[in-house]
């Protein structure tokens, strides 16, 4: 226990991994522990959007919306393999928000966030435009089409962790912080590995509590802090159905209750629908979508679509808990999505706790966290702002280069189908070539588990992206679980068990640099 880290982080979601990446890139020694898998909490259960948050304008969250709009294009440019532009159609619903208000909101949306690459808003005639075809005929005639981006949220987290590790950070998953205390002005964090049931204590000058829904639990682990801020847990549930229409645009539908629901093309053959907003009480790890939420989402979109969506159409569902800052809002939908820091120095050593935040603003949150901690860090200012310029692993390509990369993979590895090559390009970007290596045939990639998943990819994810189970691979590092049968997933778990636990891999122990 001789080493003293500059920074220890508890929580392997997007905020924790984003801070780890930025801090390591500035030259700080970083330790991060996550009690489960990376992104296994809130960060993998989002609506998969990098967006400004059009509806937040109604709550006068202008600073948050402007920051998020600026971040849209920054994130797209540093991770163009996992982030892509998406055009949204917003139909005008007579009796709800008036057309002039929608037009004003979209004007602000286009102009307050420094949009440079994404196309602007346009008006659409829903009676004649192709985007009006899935809607109930004659009911919606006027609409607007605007830009935001789609993101593979769990891969965003994994790639931030990977880049942090490549820059020297120590990332430990399935490692719970069981006790935190101060000794002589230094934090001592005692962790327990779920893999080997072994306890280890590390020391750090600065501690970041990025526990998400468990932020208050971390503080109760011996930190000696009486937190002033409180977390408000809000449940958001989503459903996935078979593809509802042929074109590539998403929809934002207004509801009579003032909420909105997104309908988004998903994984080529599916449509993602969400989300709900309801206060949640209980263990965040036990959250599940309810039958009432299923029905709410189905009813909401069926108000617009010519072909109604029914609960029996659902092929997959997921639910998560957003750890929002409790600002006293009466309704969950009105609670702020902005992030709040609480910096405490019990005994002199700093502890920064994070409340709230959005996927879209995680990078700026990390920068601001390190700005707050700069008096306590040796390398807080060095390379400030670098994360907005340096690509995430695999993202060293132009924003329009994914088709060219797919074609290059097929030329170099002619045994790959177009579907397989495209999936690898979108998941791994330029690092797909490292995954495929010198393979001359599909057989060289090892056992096939279904849905184009091979042993070579599984080994890569275990060695370099901290995957341990089939669930990590088919529901977080990918969404292949939508295409694989329960038997295929079980066979994958069996193969992982038979071929050695990933924590035994020397590549993972050494940080697995690429």
What does the pLDDT look like over 171-198, one tens digit per residue? 999 999 999 999 999 999 999 999 888 9
Q: What integer pLDDT is reported at residue 225 of this predicted model?
A: 75
User: Which pairing describes strands 270-274 and 260-266: parallel, antiparallel, or unpaired?
Assistant: antiparallel
Given a contact cutoff of 8 angstroms between Cβ atoms, the answer to whether 52 and 65 are in contact is: yes
For residues 290 and 165, membership in a common domain is answered with: no
Residue 245: inside a domain: yes
Q: The CATH number of the domain where 171 resides is what?
A: 3.50.50.60
Asked whether residue 509 carries a pLDDT value surpassing 50, the answer given is no
Asked whether residue 378 carries a pLDDT value surpassing 90, the answer given is no
List of E strands, 75-160: 83-91, 122-125, 142-151
Looking at the DSSP bridge assignments, the partners of residue 32 are 9, 171
For residues 223 and 244, membership in a common domain is answered with: no
**Measuring CA to CA, how many Å separate 61 from each of 42, 137, 253, 288, 309?**
22, 35, 21, 29, 33
Q: What integer pLDDT is reported at residue 381 of this predicted model?
A: 67
For residues 145 and 87, membership in a common domain is answered with: yes
For residues 135 and 244, membership in a common domain is answered with: yes
Q: What integer pLDDT is reported at residue 55 of this predicted model?
A: 86
Q: Is 2 exposed, middle or buried (0-12, 13-18, 19+ CB in 10 A)?
A: exposed
User: Which pairing describes strands 83-91 and 142-151: parallel, antiparallel, or unpaired?
Assistant: antiparallel
Residue 184: inside a domain: yes
Number of domains comprising the chain: 3
Given a contact cutoff of 8 angstroms between Cβ atoms, the answer to whether 481 and 474 are in contact is: yes
For residues 256 and 135, membership in a common domain is answered with: yes
Residue 469: inside a domain: yes
For residues 244 and 318, membership in a common domain is answered with: yes
Looking at the DSSP bridge assignments, the partners of residue 320 are 236
**What residues contact residue 139 under an 8 Å CB cut-off, 6+ apart?**
304
Asked whether residue 512 carries a pLDDT value surpassing 60, the answer given is no
Out of 63-67, 258-262, 286-290, 505-509, pick the least confident.
505-509
For residues 293 and 304, membership in a common domain is answered with: yes
Q: What integer pLDDT is reported at residue 380 of this predicted model?
A: 65
Q: What integer pLDDT is reported at residue 412 of this predicted model?
A: 97
- Mean pLDDT score, 336-350: 88
pLDDT in tens, 252-307: 999 988 899 999 999 999 999 999 999 999 999 999 999 999 999 999 999 999 99
Residue 393: inside a domain: no
Q: Is 399 exposed, middle or buried (0-12, 13-18, 19+ CB in 10 A)?
A: middle
For residues 246 and 224, membership in a common domain is answered with: no
- Using alpha carbons, select from 52, 49, 48, 86 the residue that is nearest to residue 69: 52
For residues 135 and 106, membership in a common domain is answered with: yes
What is residue 476's DSSP assignment?
I
For residues 226 and 242, membership in a common domain is answered with: no
pLDDT in tens, 192-251: 999 888 999 999 999 999 999 999 888 887 777 777 778 899 999 999 999 999 999 999
Residue 161: inside a domain: yes
Q: The CATH number of the domain where 477 resides is what?
A: 1.10.8.870
- Expressed as residue numbers, the domain containing 440 is 402-509
195-228: b or e for each residue (b if 16 or more CB lie within 10 Å)? eeeeeeebbbbbbbbbbbbbbbebbebbbebebe
> pTM of this prediction?
0.95
Residue 423: inside a domain: yes
User: Which pairing describes strands 175-183 and 49-50: parallel, antiparallel, or unpaired?
Assistant: unpaired
| Banded pLDDT at 332 (limits 50, 70, 90) | confident
User: Which pairing describes strands 199-209 and 231-242: parallel, antiparallel, or unpaired?
Assistant: unpaired
For residues 33 and 158, membership in a common domain is answered with: yes
User: In angstroms, rounded to a whole number, what is the distance separating the alpha carbons of residues 460 and 480?
Assistant: 16
pLDDT in tens, 154-166: 999 999 999 999 9
Q: Is 316 exposed, middle or buried (0-12, 13-18, 19+ CB in 10 A)?
A: middle
For residues 88 and 146, membership in a common domain is answered with: yes
Given a contact cutoff of 8 angstroms between Cβ atoms, the answer to whether 427 and 416 are in contact is: no
- Mean pLDDT score, 21-33: 97
- Using alpha carbons, select from 238, 264, 269, 242 the residue that is nearest to residue 252: 264
Q: Looking at 34-91, list the stretches that DSSP marks H as alpha helix, in order from N- to C-terminal side.
A: 62-78
């Amino acid at each position: 226990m001789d080493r003293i880290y500059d920074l220890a982080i508890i929580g392997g979601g997007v905020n924790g991994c984003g801070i780890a990446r930025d801090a390591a890139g500035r030259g700080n020694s970083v330790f991060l522990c996550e009690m489960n898998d990376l992104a296994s909490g809130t960060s993998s259960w989002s609506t998969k959007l990098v967006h400004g948050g059009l509806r937040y304008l109604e709550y006068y969250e202008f600073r948050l919306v402007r920051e998020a709009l600026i971040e849209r294009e920054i994130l797209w440019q540093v991770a163009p393999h996992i982030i892509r532009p998406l055009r949204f159609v917003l139909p005008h619903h007579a009796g709800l928000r008036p057309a002039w208000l929608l037009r004003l909101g979209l004007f602000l949306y286009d102009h307050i966030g420094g949009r440079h690459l994404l196309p602007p808003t346009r008006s659409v005639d829903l009676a004649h435009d192709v985007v009006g075809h899935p809607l109930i005929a004659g009911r919606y005639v006027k609409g607007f089409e605007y830009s935001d981006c789609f993101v593979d949220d769990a891969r965003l987290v994994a790639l931030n962790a990977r880049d942090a590790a490549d820059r020297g950070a120590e990332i430990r998953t399935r490692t719970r912080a069981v006790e935190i205390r101060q000794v002589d002005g230094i934090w001592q964090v005692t962790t327990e590995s779920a893999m080997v049931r072994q306890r280890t204590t590390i020391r750090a000058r600065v501690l970041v509590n990025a526990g998400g829904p468990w932020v208050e639990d971390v503080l109760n682990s011996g930190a000696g802090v009486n937190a002033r801020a409180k977390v408000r847990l809000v449940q958001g549930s989503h459903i996935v159905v078979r593809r509802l229409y042929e074109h590539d645009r998403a929809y934002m539908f207004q509801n009579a209750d003032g909420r909105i629901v997104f309908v988004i093309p998903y994984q080529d053959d599916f449509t993602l629908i969400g989300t709900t907003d309801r206060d949640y009480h209980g263990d965040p790890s036990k959250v599940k979508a309810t039958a009432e939420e299923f029905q709410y989402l189905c009813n909401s979109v069926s108000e617009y679509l010519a072909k109604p969506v029914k609960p029996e159409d659902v092929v997959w569902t997921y639910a998560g808990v957003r750890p929002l800052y409790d600002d006293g809002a009466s309704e969950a939908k009105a609670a702020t999505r902005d992030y709040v820091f609480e910096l405490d120095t019990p005994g002199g050593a700093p502890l920064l706790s994070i409340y709230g935040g959005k996927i879209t603003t995680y990078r700026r949150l990390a920068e601001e966290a390190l700005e707050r901690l700069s008096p306590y860090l040796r390398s807080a200012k060095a390379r400030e702002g670098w994360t907005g310029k340096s690509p995430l692993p695999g993202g060293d390509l132009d924003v329009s280069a994914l088709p060219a990369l797919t074609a290059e993979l097929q030329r170099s590895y002619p045994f790959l189908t177009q579907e397989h090559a495209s999936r690898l390009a979108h998941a791994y970007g330029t690092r797909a070539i490292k995954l495929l290596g010198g393979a001359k045939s599909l057989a060289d990639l090892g056992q096939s588990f279904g849905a184009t998943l091979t042993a070579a990819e599984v080994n890569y994810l275990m060695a370099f992206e901290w995957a341990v189970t089939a669930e990590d691979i088919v529901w977080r590092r990918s969404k292949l679980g939508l295409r694989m049968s329960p038997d295929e997933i079980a066979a994958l778990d069996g193969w992982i068990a038979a071929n050695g636990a990933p924590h035994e891999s020397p590549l993972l122990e050494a940080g697995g640099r690429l």
